[in-house]
Amino acid sequence: MLPKIKLTNLLIEVASWTKFDGQFTHASTGKSPNDDEKDIIMATLIAMGTNIGLSKMADSTDGITYYQMANTAQWRLYDDALSRAQSTLVNFLHKLSLPYYWGDGSTSSSDGMRVQIGVSSLHAEHNPHYGSGKGATIYRFISDQYSAFYAKVINTNTRDAVHVIDGLLHHETDLEIKEHYTDTAGFTEQTFGLCHLLGFRFAPRLRDISDVKLYSFNKPSDYPKLEKIIKVKVNTKIIKDNYDDVLKLAHSIREGKVSASLIMGKIGSYSRQNSLALALKEMGRIEKTIFILDYISNEELRRRIQKGLNKGEAANALARAIFFAKRGEFHERDLQDQMQRASVLNILMNAITVWNTVYLSKAIEYLRERNDLNEDLLSHVSPLNWEHINLYGHYSFDKKNITTLDSLRPLNIKSE
């Protein structure tokens, strides 16, 4: 029932509802964009979010030049502006009624999307799991309402768990995330400990659960029936000795004085782990054991985790459909430029999600007025479909200026 629409018109409609384009204030003057500048911003967002590039977009768009879009990308699509625009879209979606059939915005999931890098870059690395080419990973966070509220470009060989806390703390939206899901690669014992200290319930999907170690406060021999699965005793002494320092670390991360990914990468790289890292690891072992026991016995929890991760997979499918040009590869050498592309891609995803949700609401009202609506099915509807959206532009076949063999177009010869 959703109408067909071009991506350009979709962005214009969503901008008129949300005013997200007004967040792209000039980095130097602080001025909001006028109507003409907003058109250039939209063209730049499409050029970067679909990976067409500014040159090809300029060739395909009347009245907008490469210079105008390059200037916009530099002075209006900076980090803070992109973050504000993303938050505006996420918050608008959060205030609609339909998304509450999918979730209340209190749970989220994160997953990486591998992207090949087609140029020489210091941040590109090989990973045999993804083939022979070099690449990076866009690590994206999706709420239970299908909004993409945070993304960053990370090393493709880095463990995802190092970056979980960053997205939960620094998304700058109205979402209040309480429970977060990842796959097996997204957890470490230190992540369990730090999430607990910061007030999040960490709930990864576990693979090979029979091989996972459980921990107790007593000796494994004190539990004769569980001795085979309880492997190690928790070192409570090191927790007590370093508890104040662990709390200081958690406070520094919450206040943004240091990023969780940076500090966890540092303490995890020491050849001999210091006492702070060991204390955090022991606290994580306690939380991990509690979670595993709940995970084994609670089928509803396992379903909730799987459902959250499925939303992340669906979001990645939409992202790949949008980021179609140049075989879906990054062609930027600098990490900051790659981050800009990933952020713009998130904005396009959220714009599509908002537009679909608004029109789905209209379709639901239409069915409700005719008593032809099953409310129980609304929780299974997704706003991430794109079959009705023309992502690839519009092509015009103008026969008025067709050349003949006697009046060919002039050659593109540069004057010396």
Q: Which of 135, 25, 16, 156 is nearest to 79 (CA)?
A: 25
Q: Give pLDDT, residue 161.
A: 81
Average pLDDT of the segment spanning 15-25: 95
The DSSP annotation for 167-225 comes to HHHS--SS----EEEE-GGG--HHHHHHHHHTT-EEEEPPSSGGG--EEESS-GGG-GG
Q: Is residue 55 part of a domain?
A: no
Backbone angles phi, psi at 151, to 5 degrees: -155, 145
Q: Rounded CA gap, 349 and 89, in Å?
A: 10
pLDDT given at position 219: 83
Q: Is the pLDDT of residue 44 over 80?
A: yes
Could you report the per-residue pLDDT of 79-120, keeping only the tens digit for each? 999 999 999 999 999 999 999 999 999 999 999 999 999 888
Q: Is the pLDDT of residue 240 over 70?
A: yes
- Domain with 255, as residue range(s), is 5-24+77-380
Rounded to an integer, the average pLDDT of 337-361 is 96
24-28, 105-109, 383-387, 391-395: segment of lowest average pLDDT: 391-395
Is pLDDT of 402 > 90? no
DSSP 266: H
For the cut 60, the answer to whether the pLDDT of residue 416 exceeds it is no
**What phi and psi, each to the nearest 5 degrees, are found at residue 72?**
-65, -45
Pick the range with the lowest mean pLDDT from 126-140, 232-246, 247-261. 126-140
8 Å CB contact between 267 and 276: yes
pLDDT of 390 strictly over 70: yes
Residue 70 forms part of a structural domain: no
Assign 397 a pLDDT band (cuts: 50, 70, 90): low
In the block, which residue shows the tokens 């939206």?
Answer: 173
Instruction: Look over the chain and give the mean of its residue pLDDT values, rounded to a whole number.
Output: 90
Among 54-58, 160-164, 182-186, which stretch is predicted with the lowest mean pLDDT?
182-186
Name the band, by pLDDT with cuts 50, 70 and 90, for residue 336: very high
Instruction: Identify the residue with better confidence: 162 or 240.
Output: 240
**pTM of this prediction?**
0.92
Q: Predicted confidence band at 292 (pLDDT cuts at 50, 70, 90)?
A: very high
**Residue 67: predicted pLDDT:** 96
Span of 157-166, 290-299, 354-363, 406-415 with lowest mean pLDDT:
406-415
- Give Cα 100 distance to the centre of its chain: 20
In this structure, is residue 207 part of a structural domain? Answer: yes
227 located within any domain: yes
Name which of 3-12, 16-25, 133-142, 222-231 the model is least confident about.
222-231
Q: For every residue of 51-87, which 3-state class applies, written as one string?
A: CCCHHHHHHHCCCCCHHHHHHHHHHCCCHHHHHHHHH
pLDDT reported for residue 262: 86
Highest-confidence segment of 45-54, 113-122, 259-268: 45-54
For residues 2-21, give the mean pLDDT: 93
Identify whether 64 is part of a domain.
Answer: no
Residue 101 has, within 13 A of its CA and on its CB side, a CA count of: 17
The secondary structure of 267-329 as a DSSP string is HHH-SS--HHHHHHHHHHHHHHHHHHHHHHH-HHHHHHHHHHHHHHHHHHHHHHHHS-GGGG-
Q: Determine the Cα–Cα distance for residues 291 and 305; give it in Å rounded to an integer.
A: 12
- pLDDT for 357: 95
The mean per-residue pLDDT over the stretch 36-41 comes to 94
pLDDT score of 128 more than 70 = no
Number of domains in the chain: 1
Model confidence at 270, pLDDT cuts 50, 70, 90, reads: low
Instruction: Determine the average pLDDT of the residues in 312-332.
Output: 94
Strands 134-143 and 148-155: antiparallel
Instruction: Identify the band that residue 401 occupies on the pLDDT scale cut at 50, 70 and 90.
Output: confident
Sign of the dihedral defined by the CA atoms of residues 126, 129, 131, 136, in that order? negative
394 within domain boundaries:
no
pLDDT at residue 15 in the model? 94
pLDDT of residue 167: 93
pLDDT for the residue numbered 228? 77
* 68 in any annotated domain: no
